[in-house]
Structures are given as C-alpha cells and as structure tokens.
Structure 1
Amino acid sequence: MVRRGVGSLANIDLNLLVILRELLREQNVTRAAQRVGVTQPAASAALARLRRHFGDDLLERTRSGFVLSPLGERLAAEIEPVYLSLEHLFSPEPEFHPEDTEREFTILTNDYVLAAFGEQLSRTLHAAAPRARLSVKVAKGELPADLPETLREIDAIISAPKSAFKVDEIRGQELFRDHWSCVVAADNPVGEAPRLADLERMPWVIPNHPDDGYPASSPLAPVLAQLSTQPQVAVRVDSYQATPYFVAGTDRVAVMQQRLAGQFADRADLRVLPYPGDAPPIVEVLWWHRKNTDERTHTWLRTLLAKAAAGLA
C-alpha cells in the first residue's frame, strides 16, 4: 500500500520544479524560459500545469507586469532549500583525490588580492593538487550585480565585505587582513610620519573609485571618512597595482594596502610611509554559494585557500 504523501510525490513531474523555481525568481515567463533553456510556449504550458496543481495563479498580471500571488510568495521563500537538496541528492559526488584531480577551479577577485595572495595560492594549490587548473577572473571596479547567480557559476569570490553579500544564498569566511600605507615620490617634502592634514592638502591617486563623488562603496571609504575635507583627486585608475606609477615623479599621494605598497618599497623614486589615521583594517573574505557548503571538493578548496592565506602571516 502506497502512503498518501509518497503517492502524491509519485504523481508529480519533478521537471516542473526547475521551471517553477525560475518562474518564482524571474516573475516573467519569457525570462524563466531563457534561464531553463526551453521555448516560451513550453514555459507557459508548464505554468499552466503548475497552476492546476496548486489551484492558484502563482503569477498574477498587473498593469506593470506579473507579481507573485500570496501562495507564490510563500513558495518563493521555500523552494530554494528544497531545490538545492534535490540537486545534491541526484548529483552524487565522486570520490575526490586532490593529487589526481584535473578539475578547474574558478575564482573572481581584484588585482590587489592577486598581488598580496596570488603567489601563495598558486604555490599551495600546486603542492596539494599539481594537476588541478585555476581560472582567475580579475574584477575591475564594481563586482557583478547578481552575486548569488555569479557564485552559482564559479567557485568563489575574494572581496572585502559589501552589503550585496549579505543575502541568504551566500556564505563567507575571512581569509586575511591588511592595513593602510601612504606612497609618495622620493623627493616629496612630506616627512616620514605624515599627518592627516598633510594628506588633505596633497593631490591623490585613487584606485577603483566609482565616480567623482565619495560613495560608501569606494574601497577607500573608511580612509576618506577620516578626512575633514574631500581630497583633490588628480588621477583615478582602475587598478590597485598601477596606482604607484601615477605617484612617482609628482607631488601626489596614494593611500594603499600595506602588502601591495611594500612591493614598491625598493624603488628609488618612491617612499612608503605609515598611514596617520586609525582607519579599520582591510578584511578580505572568501565568499561562496551555500549550495557548495557541504560539497566535498569545495570544502577542500576552502580549506586550501585558508591554508594559503595563513602563509601570508
């Protein structure tokens, strides 16, 4: 005798779960069809079947487009963990041996993290998994708008904390910390221990600054917040590593990450000086999609990244 719950599940086409998830996320039949890789009529037919099953419209048409019905809102809140559990259930993991794997791991980060952490990561990965491949995508300026979707497609993002990461689909752990330094030309008359007032009167080179204003999203926002006046920005450059090249031979200053600034300390035309303020430390975090939290290969990768970061000390 088949119990009622099992019988109900046996009568459901679980392929509908895939289209239901995208319909609830996109609230648009055409976009949901594109996400799943089916035609728009096929997605419409699936929506009709789902409406019959639930006895509810799920998506209700308004003047400005579709919105979720109350039941649709409830299902949208509940479907993600169900979908991830089924995805994991029907995708059994093969046994993982780091020394033999040829898997390609994909990480998105910026050029500062690569300068501070890239070599240590490369050495640690090569020692543990010499046949593994690494794809490093370098972000310039802003990160992708849809971070959960980006993390569905790649293994990890390494970035300072941002409000966009504070969503239920994303998990994170701190990798390493850094502090601020000042970089000036060797003949700049500023002393070896500059004051904030000195920085306020000097023209600045600022990396990855979103626009001419001073939004909270700027990488230098904690530093800029300590100044009594907005600095004169002489150069904006979409690269952390390129910043010192626009300081040499000028009266400009750049406030940079200490690990990166130290790589220019042996240049005769530059000086690396202590930052005079008490801005909070720079924290770089490893971010991943929650669907990978218990996946063995990904757990291994996170452990390896943490080991590489520990080597920075």
Structure 2
Amino acid sequence: MHFRKLDLNLLVALDALIRNQNVSLAAEELHLSQSAMSSSLSRLRRYFNDDLLIQTGRRMTLSPLAEQLEQPIRDILVKIDASIMLKPGFDPTTSDREFRICVSDYMLHTLIPYVIEMTQAQGCTVKLNFLPQVSDPKKELDRGEADLLIMPDIFCSDFHLSEPLITDEFACVVWDQSDLAKDQMTMETFMSAGHICMQPPNSNPSFETHAYESQGISRRVDVRTFSFSCIPNLIVGTNLIATLQRRLIDKSITQGMPLKSFATPVALPTLCESMQWHKYQNADLGIIWLRQLMLEAVAKHMC
C-alpha cells in the first residue's frame, strides 16, 4: 500500500532502523536479509532526501530528520497494532496472546505470585512476560514494547492512562541479632548506621531515597544493589539497616528470615503503585482483562 508515493511497509523498516541504528540488527528483528534492509534504507533515503542513518566511525547515528520522525512513526505503528487487537471478544482461556508487563522485583515478590496463581486456577492460556523496569519504562510503553507498567504513581506519565493498584508503607529492617536490634531506632542511631539501598537502573534515586532527601536526610549508604527483594537476605549477619516496603518485610519475616522491623525515624509518604497502559489500548479487551485480573488479585490476597 502506498500513501503520497511512500510504500507504507517502509515505515516498519524505518522504525526498526531508527530504534536499532544498525542495518543488520534491524534486518534480524524483521526477519529480513541484510541486503533487503539495505535496499529499504536506500528507498527511504530517496523518498525523504535525507541520509536518515549516518555512518560515524564504526557506528551509525540518526540524522536530525530521523530524530524528528522517531516518535511520530512509533505512534503510528502502535496505533495500528492497537486497532488490530480490537477484536469482537477476548477469552483468556482460549487466547494465546502474550502480555508484556514491566514490573519491579518488589512487585514480583508480593503481588505477581497471586496473579499467576489466579491465571492457573482459571485455566488461562495467555502468556505473561514480566520485564525488568529499565531506565525509563515509559519509553517501553511509548514504543509499544510493553502492554502494562506497574510502578509508583509519581513516576507515571501524563501522556498515558493509569489506575491505582496497591498501596504500601515503608519501615526500617535490621538483622534481629545485630546491635541495631537491641534498642529503639532513634534518629541518632539511624544516621550513624550503614545502610543498604536499592539503586534504580538510571541515576535517579529510589522512592524512599527521594522521600528522605526531600526532608533533608542523607543516609550513609554502604551497600547498593539493583534489587529490593535481595536486601532482606543481605542484611542478615550485618549491622546494616534498610528502608523497605512493609509488605516485602512482612513476607520475609513470615518465611523465617531473622529480621526485626522498626518505624522509620521520620514519616515517609505512602507508596502507591499504579498500572499504566498506552492510551491507544484503552478499549483493548485483553488489556481490560489484565487490569481487572491485577485488581482482583489485590482484593483477594492483599487487602
């Protein structure tokens, strides 16, 4: 199909070329030969009268025009994909659709086990693909590479739709045999202790770090890790302290980990985890079912 003398199939090739900035990788993604992708790039260059991808040393970079085209082209393709998914009905017990869900490991250890349990109990045939939260998960949604994000509401995009899912509080946790477990947690003790913190994949602070710093509290961080769920295990046998979600602490203690929890020395805001989905997928029956499944899991197991 052509529009204004442009073969619309080339838009898919252009999107892959822009995202990968590499002819071979774009060809591999679209299951084309490298020569076929090179031919598509040549046709695109002639149509736009622009290099689009510029060889710079051993790598390729985007031309200014390609940078301007990146988001509009992605929006077009996501909207087409969303329209295709608008089928008359959706039955999770017969569908083979795969849902890509960006979540933190905190959610994987608290809510998601109940979600999987419910899909098994209901005889669902859909596939759930849980993806790590990269530096900017909202881009995964923009590009159509994720169907649902679950993250703190303060990090949600204003461009897409969202819905509150679950709330949690923060508490301090220590090894129950440490010196820190012997007395009450005072501000002096808190500030003098070494801390374990989760560091997000980008340079931004985690939710609780941001909350402390907004009140002028800067902790002495001795250990950083990429995972919330490993922190309880890392604390055991040390005199370190961590500030974690209460649900994660309670689950660790229930599973027999030798931990003791305290209230935080200052009040921290409530953590509100929300679901966010692409605005073009608001009428997608599969996404509607998935969101409802998440809400039912919270209502049944976590209220």
* TM-score, L = length of structure 1: 0.72
The amino acid that maps onto 1:189 is: K
Is structure 2 residue 204 aligned with structure 1 residue 216?
Answer: yes
Identify the residue that residue 306 of structure 1 maps to in structure 2.
Answer: 295
**Aligned structure 1 segments of 4 or more residues deviating by more than 6 angstroms:** none
AA of the residue aligned to 1:18: V
Q: Deviations over 1:249-272 (max 9, x none)?
A: 554322211112223456695332
Q: Tell me the percent identity.
A: 25
Q: Secondary structure at the match of 2:10?
A: helix
> Does 2:186 correspond to 1:195?
yes
Change (3 A) 1:310 1:61: same
Amino acid corresponding to residue 59 of structure 1 in structure 2: L
Give the alignment of 1:263-282 within 5 angstroms: 263-265=251-253, 269-282=258-271
Q: Pick one of 243, 252, 259 that aligns with 1:255.
A: 243
**Matched AA of 2:249:** A
Q: CA 1:232 to 1:89, structure 2 compared with 1: closer, same or farther past 3 Å?
A: closer
Alignment partner for residue 68 of structure 1, among 63, 66, 73? 63
Stretch of structure 1 that moved more, 82-91 or 60-69: 60-69
CA offsets per residue over residues 38-82 of structure 1, 9 Å max, x none?
23332332233334445x225275867554355x55544532333
Equivalents in 1 of 2:218, 2:47: separation in Å?
Answer: 62
Q: Which consecutive unaligned segments of at least 5 residues does structure 1 have?
A: 1-6
> CA shift at 1:308, angstroms?
2.3
Counterpart for residue 40 of structure 1? 34
1:78 is the counterpart of 2:72: yes
Would you say the 8 A contact 2:85–2:284 is kept in 1?
no
CA contact (8 A) 1:176 1:310 kept: no
CA contact (8 A) 2:147 2:287 kept: yes
The answer to whether structure 1 residue 122 and structure 2 residue 113 are counterparts is no
User: CA offset at residue 97 of structure 1?
Assistant: 1.9
Is this contact kept in 2: 1:249–1:269, CA < 8 A?
Answer: no
Confirm or deny that 1:57 pairs with 2:66: no
Q: Secondary structure at the match of 2:77?
A: helix
Q: Could you tell me which amino acid in structure 2 is paired with residue 195 of structure 1? A: T
Matched, 1:156 2:148: yes
2:7 aligned with 1:16 = no
SS at match of 2:111: helix
Q: CA deviation at 1:199?
A: 0.8
Q: One-letter code of the match for 1:241?
A: S
Q: Who is 1:4 aligned against?
A: none
Supply the distance in 2 between the matched residues of 1:80 and 1:27 (Cα, whole angstroms): 15
**For residues 276 and 108 of structure 1, what CA distance do their matches in structure 2 show?**
32
Q: Is residue 294 of structure 1 aligned with residue 283 of structure 2?
A: yes
**Alpha-carbon offset, residue 96 of structure 1:** 1.5
Give the Cα–Cα distance (whole angstroms) in 1 for the partners of residues 38 and 176 of structure 2: 68
Residue aligned with 2:165, SS? strand
The Cα of 1:155 is off from its aligned counterpart by: 3.7
Mapped to 2, the partners of 1:25 and 1:218 lie a distance apart of 28
Over aligned residue pairs, what C-alpha RMSD do you find?
4.0
For 1:41 and 1:260, locate their aligned partners in 2 and report how far apart those are by CA, in whole Å: 51
Q: Give SS of 1:260's match.
A: helix
The 1:12–1:63 alpha-carbon spacing in structure 2 relative to 1, beyond 3 Å, is closer
Amino acid at match of 2:124: R
How far apart are the structure 2 equivalents of 1:252 and 1:63?
48
Q: CA deviation at 1:138?
A: 7.0
- Greater Rg, structure 1 or structure 2? 1
- Report the CA distance between 1:218 and its aligned residue: 3.5
Tell me how far apart the structure 1 counterparts of residues 166 and 125 of structure 2 sit (CA, whole Å). 24
Aligned pair 1:240/2:233, yes or no? no
